[in-house]
Structure 1
Amino acid sequence: MPRDRRSQSKEPDVDSFIDAGGSAPSEEDNGGGGEVKTFTTRFPEKLVDQIDEAIDDQIVSESRNQWLMKAAVEKLEREHE
């Protein structure tokens, strides 16, 4: 028995969804640095809001994670000049 009216539609075709698949991450996705390491960090809300504004102002959108990685690379390049 359906849980609610919205779930009365036919079941999604899970097999076709799985067969469609997706693309595997490429070396370019992580800057060519090999293994990807994940960590948690905290930012003040005001700073996150400013980052999100900078991302929203771009013609080609990117994720917050991509923006932060680019910012880190730019900072490291400036320090090594």
Structure 2
Amino acid sequence: MKNEYYDSSRPLARLEKGDKAIIRFTPFPFAKEKDKQKYKDIPMGRYEAICIEPLVLECEEYPVLGGRFNYWRGDKWGCSEGIYADEVGR
């Protein structure tokens, strides 16, 4: 992990390849129908992930949660569901 000050508006900025992260999933009632179908079998909760490259996470328990995340706020790229990532310990 990079030795920088943690900034909650950029929760993945310090992660480097191989670092652990947490993906939080909360279903949103206003999510797009395609996203509701894609994530319907995943229970609300926190899941462990590994950083495989900057802003890209891999989740072993639910692979569909992994992917590219946004630099600002740490939400999943192109997704309308409540999928947010953060470094471990936050």
TM-score, normalised via structure 1 length: 0.24
Q: More relative contact order in 1 or in 2 (CA 8 Å, sep 6+)?
A: 2
Pair member with larger Rg: 1
TM-score, normalised via structure 2 length: 0.23
Task: Considering fraction of residues, name the structure with more helix.
Answer: 1
